[in-house]
Structure formats: structure tokens, C-alpha cells
Chain A
């Protein structure tokens, strides 16, 4: 028997498939862990640091970073920086939004705000404050200086500077009116370096930019103008309900108008409207474009990664 068995073919002895199946379990577990790690470290978006003067309302792990109303990241840590002069907000961005981490991006904190003429950030009363971003167009970076207030959306148009003796009722976002129609808005104001004027920066929408000419006259349209005359009786004028509460500026352009105002043009604001400006009725072709070609805003495109 044993002699014969040498001439017979040898049986294969191999591992049972079932026992190999059991060893697939640790392999599967390792693959799962590897996938988690890949997801967290390789596919994760960048982590950015934003320095704010005041981070009130932000919470670690809870507060979001939002762009166009969509969550694009989470606040990971809050700590004092620069010897207590700033708060460093460290946030991790989602991969899809990694491209907002570039130079020129403006970050600000959205909190509930109640101002004359404008209520904003109402949803943050229940959901908590969040960090909003307006992406810039520069190269990639990870460190930003946060803005204290929301930057104006980049509306195409021209920027002009207005000088006034008195601030009056002008507020950021106050309207600039032409014949009572809103053609632009006030961005911000400050006292000039020698404290002689109030310097108001304003923006006129692209479409209406030709209305502003070098010889245009601006006046303060906020509040009520009351005039008591002996024969005309009491005469009360107000530009609009909006300017009544929020303040505003109006302008008129003479019939024989000059060159169009360019970016950075400077005008003085008159305290009152001159009667003769009312009669000006110039014919100015506007920058009208077909509605489809109009760009609502110029926020840069983000590159998908």
C-alpha cells in the first residue's frame, strides 16, 4: 500500500476558504480605517486662521463658515493672539470650498443687527453667529484679517467721493437718488485727515454711471425739509420714505453737462437743493445692456478641486 502510494498523484493540502474569509475581517477593518484617515487628512480642505478684533457669538465646533448661505467650513478653535489684541479664529474648510482661502477674501461675522432702515442677520438669533466670506481673486493663503462689517457686494459701477460739512442722516447703505430713483449707495464715511469735511465714499451702479457728470450737484436728501413762507404757507418736502428714516443723497445734472465722472471723482454735498436744479432735464444715454448680459455681482469663480 505504502509503496504504491508513491506512484499516485499527491493530494493538495490548502487553506480552507472559510478560514480565509475570517482573515478578510481585519483587512476590511484596516481598509475602513484607511478610508477614514484618507478622508480626514488627504481629502480634507485647508485650515485657515482669521484674526478678528471681536469674536463675540462664535462657538468652537458649532459655528459655521458660510458662503452664499451654504456651510463651507466649521470653526475649530478660538484663542487670543497678538498679545490679546486679536482673536484667532481657526476654521477648517470643506474641500469643495478650499478655493475661498485666497488673498483678497474678506471674512466677517454675521450677527443679528437692528439698524434704522435695515434689519439683518435675523436668522442668527436662533442659529448663532457665523463667519461669512466674500472670496477674493489673489493667490492662495491661509491667514486673513477679518473685517468688522460686511463688505458691500461687488456691484459693477464707479466709486465716487463726496465731501460734506455735516454728516446729517447719512448712513452706510444710504441710497443715492436720481429723480427719486436709487442709482447707487453710500459705502462708508469718515472725517477727513484735517477734520474739515465728512468724506463719504459711495458707489454708483454701472447702469447709471453716465448720469454723474463732473458738474453734477449733490444734496442731502435725508429728513424733512420744512419751509414756512409768508405767502406760500408751510411747505414740507421729503425725497422718499426710505431716505426719511435712513438718510440719503440726491443729485442732478445740468442740461449742458460736462464729461462723465470717473472712478474717484470728488463732489461737494450741498445742504439744500437749489430750486433751479429741479428744472434740469438733461438727455443722457444710459449704459443699458440686455438683461441676460448683466452680471449681478462679480464674485470670482471658485476652482473645483
Chain B
């Protein structure tokens, strides 16, 4: 085992003295976060998370997000219908933003993570994997915009007497996709990107 470890959080390179005893964890000298040589089982966990997210991506977009009942009429809206109605209303900026954050970036992120984790052991595509990971890190904050979508839903529910809003199947799948993709990037250890197959064996 290597003595020198870098903290994944603050980047401080430090030395680990002696063997780590059973039941103990290694904490960073500067930021006190747990440090690993490599995250445990990182590749396969990330693959599991992103596969689950990829499966749920379909119901989240095909099923209605909300069912609004207004004076005896019920209106069901999927994400895509919401985007197209924004677009037709002339709200091109908001429509485009919602399209990017709700449809485009989650798909990109899920596909990217699946590609990276599946091809980790390949000697080829090393550069490509690094590029994809960079893109994922760039689009990651934008995925958080779904929180605002949920806020809009809540404000609709608050109308109470006038209209009743039921969450559809889509919104649960959607929430699951958001959480799963988040977990997917969190569990992924970026150091795996440059590890060769032999190096990975060493850290297992």
C-alpha cells in the first residue's frame, strides 16, 4: 500500500503512517474528510446508479408529472408537453432552459457515466473518458434546476380550492433520476480515469 495519499476533497497530499488498524478510517489532516486510495467499489456502484437512473429516465419523461384537476376537467402534463407549451407561449429562454436541465443534461450525464464505467478497463478511450468526465462535471450544477420545477409544482398545489394537483407517476421517477444521477457522480472516483488495469488491481 502506498504511503502517500491525496485528499479527494481538498487535494492535500499527505502521508499515512503505518498500517490502518481494523475499524479505523483515514481522515485528511487539513479538511478532516475521509480519504481513500480509491473509493471502495466505485466503478461498479456508479454503473449501478446510472443504470437505475437510465431505466427510470423513460417513465419520468413518458408519464405525466402532474395531473391538475380544474373544475371537473383533468389535465395531465409530461415534461415534454410543459416544454412545448412554454415554447409556444414564446418563452423561448425558459423553455430552452427547462429542456436542457430536465431532458438533455440528465440523458447526457447518464450515458456518459455508463460509458465511462463500462470502458474503465479498456486501454483505449482514456482521453475520451477524461473529456466526458469533464463535461459531466460542467453540466452537474445545472441538473439542480429541477428543484425549481418542484417548487413550481408545490405552488400549484397551494392553489387548493381552485384546482387540485396530483403528482403523476412521472414526478416520482423524475425525483429518483435526479437522486440516482447525483449518487452516481458522488460515488465515482475520478482517479479511476487514469488508473491502468494493473494499478486498479493494486488498490483493491
Binding site for B on A (CB under 8 A): 16, 18-19, 22-23, 25-26, 28-30, 32-33, 36, 59, 61-62, 123, 126-128
Contacts and interface: CB of A to CB of B under 8 A. Distances in A.
B51 A127 contact: no
Contacts of A28: 52
Contacts of A128: 72-73
B interface majority secondary structure? helix
B45 to A, nearest CB: 5
A23 B117 CA distance: 14
A33 B48 contact: no
5 contacts: A19-B41, A22-B48, A29-B56, A29-B176, A123-B72
Contact of A22 (B49, B56, B176): B49
- Interface of A (DSSP majority class): helix
Contacts of B58: 33
A123 B63 CA distance: 30
B5 to A, nearest CB: 22
B155 to A, nearest CB: 23
A26 B74 CA distance: 33
Q: How large is the interface on B (under 10, 10 to 19, 20 to 34, 35 or more residues)?
A: 20 to 34
Contacts of A19: 41, 44-45
A62 B70 CA distance: 10
A30 B55 contact: yes
Contacts of B72: 123, 126-128
B82 interface: no
Contacts of B41: 16, 18-19, 22
Nearest to B44: A19
Contacts of B45: 19, 22
A23 B49 CA distance: 8
A127 B48 CA distance: 47
B109 to A, nearest CB: 16
A36 B172 CA distance: 12
Given A26-B51, A26-B52, A128-B72, 16 more contacts: A19-B45, A22-B45, A23-B44, A23-B48, A25-B48, A25-B49, A25-B52, A26-B48, A29-B52, A29-B176, A30-B55, A33-B56, A33-B59, A36-B63, A61-B75, A123-B72
B61 interface: no
B56 to A, nearest CB: 5
Contacts of A62: 73-75
A26 B57 CA distance: 12
B180 interface: yes
B76 interface: yes
Given A22-B44, A62-B74, A36 B169 contact: yes
B73 A33 contact: no
A174 B71 CA distance: 33
B56 A61 contact: no
B102 interface: no
Nearest to A63: B73
Contacts of A22: 41, 44-45, 48-49
B36 to A, nearest CB: 15
